[in-house]
Chains A and B, each alone.
Chain A
Amino acid sequence: MLRGTGDCMPGNAPMLTILIDGIAYGMLLFVMASGLAVTLGLMNFVNLAHGAFAMIGGYVTALAVNRLGVPFVLTLPLAFLVSALVGVLAERTLYARLYRRSHLDQVLFSIALVFMAVAAADWSLGSSQMLITLPGWLQGRFEVAGVDIGRYRAFLIVVCAALVVGLQLVLTRTAFGARLRAAVDDQRAARGLGINVGGIFAATFAVGSGLAGLGGALGIEIMGLDPTFPLKIMVYVLIVVTIGGTATLTGPFLAALIIGTADVAGKYYIPELGAFLIYLLMIALLILRPQGLIAPAR
């Protein structure tokens, strides 16, 4: 069994193409995982139903594009909003009751939610793959300095990079961000300072769910969408959050990029490793840095 050596067409630079593919995939993972990283870090709540919000966003976009003819790019904010809304509702009515419960109870709770979400999606939208057709300007490839880049991948990188920058700015430059960081570092002290921690929880959960929804919408093209999506995506998201650590956003960002590029590059250069690579990489990284890539400052 021969392996492609990647050194054929001049001006093709497959290595860079693979790199870009990997970065795009990693960024997508980050968008989906960022919400979980924050809720886990902030609220110390194990929310295994995070993937369900991604699924909601995905279906919103798919339905808007397929049945209502809304242009793809316009459905993205819609996906964010709907997921955020569902998130806020769920948080106020259900999640808030479990903040003081043990992690295991939270696991049971979130799995119960996933069951219901999967079955509900199945019932209302069918169990087949939901597909969308991207607008023409997002399809195909273009060449930059001899490197072949997929348009959608480039789009993903741009959108996700903007999101990352935006999130970081909100965290570091706004009052809300400051309050959020205070609450993450020390909830009791933050409460003592008069910071409305409950409100921050709700807002953060909403944004986290919204981001998940956005990730789900952006991911339809790459990962597909069907009612079992929450289950499929959770493992990857958990890997990113665990490796990256929940104390910062930068940690999961780096972790997502590493996972994304390693996954794609690994399959290209060492295909025999196949599915082993991701898990070996994760275990290795966790052994080296058990607290996450960027450990809490304490």
Chain B
Amino acid sequence: MTYTTLSSAGSAAAPETERRASRDLMRRVRWKPAEIVFWLVAAASFFLLPDRHLLLSEIVILGLFALSLDLIIGYAGVVSLGHGAFFGLGAYAAGLTSIHLTGEPLTGLAIGGLAAGLLGLLTGPLLLLRASDLTRLMVTLGIAMLLLEAANRAAWLTGGADGLQGVMIDPLFGRFEFDLFGTTAYAYCLVVTFVTFLIARRVVSSPYGLSLRAIRDNPLRARSMGIPVGPRILGIYAFSALIAGLAGALLTQTTMFVSLDVLAFHRSADVLLVLVLGGVGYLYGGLVGALVFKLLQDWFSAITPEYWMFWMGLVLLVVVLIGRDRIDAAPRTLLRRIRGEGRA
């Protein structure tokens, strides 16, 4: 059991502590009932809400994108304002694949993810500067803006501001065509997100993931424990970039269009917003945040297409002021009050 590396860093821990520690850590790996409910409901939404598939696809894609950001912010402690770069690169890679190589969706998806992951590997070292959060934030932002400008310049390849024309995606598995109702698209996005989620979950519950958390909480101590901080951060950054690329590819494939907008600053800003809204550090934050944000946006936008931003801001403001802890505890407090228990 590699968990022992962490507990042997100090005194000769009593076997009881060790057992408790490993039991505690194992608890993270087991699926909680709420998680199962979450995914069941997600699957059910496919059947129960046939006319909202388009919006749901958008939510899932944003959720996957936010999930990727959670991996580095929530688990490795690296803040980024430039994650849109990977999203955009994945989007364009998938689009270009469909035009120049093949319209087969899974190929495009894989290429999108790999391209983004590669960029993550290449730019990752910049994050390892001994710098403050602010510096990292701006470096990542800078990279994203450079990529945007590059895409603008390379209009012969990317279609520039007008967008990439002629993106045609073949039916999934040769059978399921991407239809007007967005049904295939939603199923596709949902499955890809679920599978990616499973992999991400595995990663963060693994010893590797735990070491990341150690790095996040105290890099100096982590280093002194013998954890290779640099390579670990690079690894998770590349992985996170890959997932962001997958999300971007999904967007291109389900909308059959990609334009400079996928690299715009608001993509990075929105995904950060969504993730913080849902909560960092437990993998579901991105998905929950995307769900809440998009639903609210859709709802407000239908009521007032011009000023929905105001109400959106107000809701976010209230959420922040109340504080997530109190909001999270609300169902429990409510239940407790109903049951009349005094247990903390």
Q: Give me the interface of A with B, judged by CB distance under 8 Å.
A: 40, 46, 94, 97-98, 101, 103-105, 107-109, 111-120, 122-123, 235, 238-239, 241-243, 246, 274-276, 279-280, 282-283, 286-287, 290-292
Contact = CB atoms under 8 A, between A and B. Distances in A.
Interface stretch (B101-109, B143-151, B199-207): B143-151
B138 A286 contact: yes
A280 B143 CA distance: 8
A115 B149 contact: no
Contact of A290 (B135, B310, B314): B135
24 contacts: A94-B317, A101-B320, A103-B79, A103-B133, A105-B323, A105-B324, A107-B272, A108-B319, A115-B310, A115-B313, A116-B310, A117-B313, A239-B138, A242-B135, A246-B134, A276-B146, A279-B146, A279-B149, A280-B142, A280-B146, A282-B138, A283-B143, A286-B142, A287-B129
DSSP class of A's interface residues: helix, strand, loop or mixed?
A: helix
A284 to B, nearest CB: 10
Going nearest first, the 9 A-B pairs with the smallest beta carbon separation are: A115-B313, A119-B310, A290-B131, A112-B316, A116-B313, A119-B309, A112-B317, A279-B142, A242-B138
DSSP class of B's interface residues: helix, strand, loop or mixed?
A: helix
Contacts of B272: 107
Interface in B137-173: 137-139, 141-143, 145-146, 149-150, 152-153
Which of B141, B309, B320 is most buried by chain A, counting CB atoms within 10 A of its CB?
A: B320
A104 B272 CA distance: 9
Contacts of B315: 112
Contact of A111 (B132, B150, B269, B280): B269
B321 interface: yes
A274 B315 CA distance: 39
B261 to A, nearest CB: 15
Interface string B275-316: 011001000000000000000000000000011111011111
Contacts of B134: 40, 46, 238, 241-242, 246
Given A104-B280, A122-B307, A291-B132, A114 B149 contact: no
B330 interface: no
A116 B317 contact: yes
A275 to B, nearest CB: 5
Contacts of A40: 134
A16 B42 CA distance: 63
Contacts of A292: 135
A113 B317 contact: yes
Given A115-B309, A123-B306, A287-B139, 17 more contacts: A104-B73, A105-B276, A107-B272, A107-B276, A108-B277, A108-B319, A112-B314, A112-B315, A112-B317, A115-B316, A242-B135, A242-B138, A246-B134, A276-B149, A279-B143, A283-B143, A287-B126
Contacts of A116: 309-310, 313-314, 317
Nearest to A276: B149
B265 interface: yes
A114 B309 CA distance: 9
B6 interface: no
A111 B273 contact: yes
B316 A275 contact: no
A276 B147 CA distance: 9
B124 to A, nearest CB: 14
A276 B144 CA distance: 11
Contacts of B139: 282-283, 286-287
B130 interface: yes
Nearest to A98: B320
A246 B137 CA distance: 15
B129 A123 contact: no
Interface in B39-62: none
Which of A98, A122, A275 is most buried by chain B, counting CB atoms within 10 A of its CB?
A: A275
B313 A113 contact: yes
Contact of A118 (B145, B153, B309, B323): B309
Interface in B249-284: 265, 269, 272-273, 276-277, 280
B307 A119 contact: yes
Which of B134, B316, B317 is most buried by chain A, counting CB atoms within 10 A of its CB?
A: B134
B322 to A, nearest CB: 10
Contacts of B146: 276, 279-280, 283
Contacts of B308: 119
A298 B312 CA distance: 42
Contact of B149 (A123, A238, A274): A274
Contacts of B323: 101, 105
A279 B138 CA distance: 9
Nearest to A232: B265
A238 B307 CA distance: 27
Contacts of B280: 104
A148 B280 CA distance: 54
Contacts of A274: 149, 153
Nearest to B144: A279
Contacts of B132: 290-291
Contacts of B310: 115-116, 119-120, 123
